[in-house]
Chain A
Amino acid sequence: MEFTLPNDAQLPPASAERLAEFGRDHALDPRVMFALDHALNEHLQNVVDHSTARTAFLELQVRDGAVHVTVTDDGDTFDPLAAPPADVAADPDSRPVGGLGVHMMRKLTDQLLYRRTAAGNQLRMVKKLG
């Protein structure tokens, strides 16, 4: 499945609907869908809140025993994976809450890959089936 959406407040919910449709079409495990739903939402909310992109192009694929979700936004260069990892071992009463979204993406997927392409920022999330 491929689609392009404008970068506005509807980008995360509209993409979640398409992802759910993709999951139904491919009879994907609810646990896989749960993880990808959260990971994709975190990334797209970052795009909405922080990027200069006008559009986001999404590709959803099942191949090689995994679901591949690739998001390409046409904003200025920004690598979300460059941020330092959240320190979940720190005191939870004083630990900074920044970086939580990327931490969730890392924990909920098997692989996250960022690269800058001619089309823009490309983030690929890979979640193994089963």
Chain B
Amino acid sequence: MSLSQITRGDESEFFVKGRVDGPVANQLEVEVLAAIRTPVRRIYINLAEANFLCSAGIRVLLQYHRKMKAEGRELLVSRTSPEIDQILELTGFRDTLVEKI
């Protein structure tokens, strides 16, 4: 797994590669929380190169999606791999979490 972040203006995008299992979900939560404490308006989680997403990872995405939305800001999944798309679809959170282009 690798996790990197690019911030441009008031947007921040995280690029997650490989397996998003329990420990990676915890790491992602720490990084997302740090980003939320900055003035960014939009946070994107790019999962185009992720191939595994556990329920803990989905909980992180959903929890901070809801928190950002309540503050008038946005946290969305910007891109998905086919594997991640399948997992989000079967949990019923795909339409909520994935950015509509």
Q: Chain A interface (Cβ within 8 Å of chain B)?
A: 9, 12-13, 16, 34, 37-38, 41-42, 45, 48, 86, 88-89, 92-93, 95, 97, 100-101, 103-104, 107-108
What is the bound-complex CA distance between A34 and B22, given in angstroms?
16
Q: Looking at B63, B83, B87, B92, which has the most chain A CB atoms within 10 Å of its CB? A: B92
Q: Is the CB of B54 within 8 A of A97?
A: no
Contacts of A37 in B (CB 8 A): 52
Residues of B within 8 A of A (CB): 21-23, 52-56, 58-59, 62-63, 66, 69, 83, 87, 90-93, 95-96
B54 adjacent to A41 (CB under 8 Å): yes
B8 to chain A, nearest CB (A): 28
Q: Show 14 residue pairs from A and B whose CB-CB distance is below 8 angstroms, ordered by the A residue.
A: A12-B21, A34-B83, A38-B52, A45-B54, A86-B91, A92-B95, A92-B96, A93-B96, A95-B92, A101-B54, A101-B55, A103-B91, A104-B91, A108-B90
Dominant secondary structure at the B interface: helix
Provide the bound-state CA to CA distance between A93 and B91, in Å: 13
Which residues of A have CB within 8 Å of B59? 97, 100
A100/B66 contact (C-beta < 8 A), A88-B91, A89-B92 known: no
- Report chain A residues within 8 Å CB of B90: 104, 107-108
Partner of A100, one of B21, B22, B52, B55: B55
Question: Which 8 residue pairs are nearest across A and B when measured between Cβ atoms?
Answer: A88-B92, A101-B55, A100-B55, A92-B96, A107-B90, A97-B59, A45-B22, A97-B62
Contacts of B95 in A (CB 8 A): 92
User: Known contacts A37-B52, A92-B92; can you find 11 more A-B pairs with CB under 8 A?
Assistant: A9-B23, A12-B22, A13-B21, A16-B21, A45-B56, A86-B92, A92-B93, A93-B66, A93-B96, A95-B92, A104-B90
